[in-house]
Amino acid sequence: MTKRNSFRAPGFWNADVAVYKDTRLTETLSLQLRAEFFNVFNHANLYVIGTSANVGTGNTIDGCFGCSGSSYDRRQVQLGARFSF
């Protein structure tokens, strides 16, 4: 028998932030500057390596941080400007 919560892993978490600034140039013209940050803290999540998930051959299950190769593992920055008239 395994003890309680022996297969519990850290949860997946991700923080996204967006900031923008509206500037009125004239009465009819305006400019918006925008910055979006995805996975702003660049937190590495723990993933289970699928080939080592067989507990019949050993007592441990291997894991790695940020090894999924998906876009959720990287910090991404997106900048934009919008001119309205």
Q: Quick one: pLDDT at residue 52? A: 58
51-56 long-range contacts, Cβ below 8 Å, gap at least 24? Answer: none
Q: Quick one: pLDDT at residue 69? A: 57
Q: Quick one: pLDDT at residue 25? A: 94
Q: Quick one: pLDDT at residue 61? A: 59
Gap between the Cα atoms of 71 and 85, Å rounded: 35
Instruction: Name the stretches of the chain with pLDDT < 70.
Output: 1-13, 43-73
Q: Quick one: pLDDT at residue 22? A: 96
Residues 6+ apart with CB under 8 A from 19: 34, 35
Gap between the Cα atoms of 68 and 60, Å rounded: 20
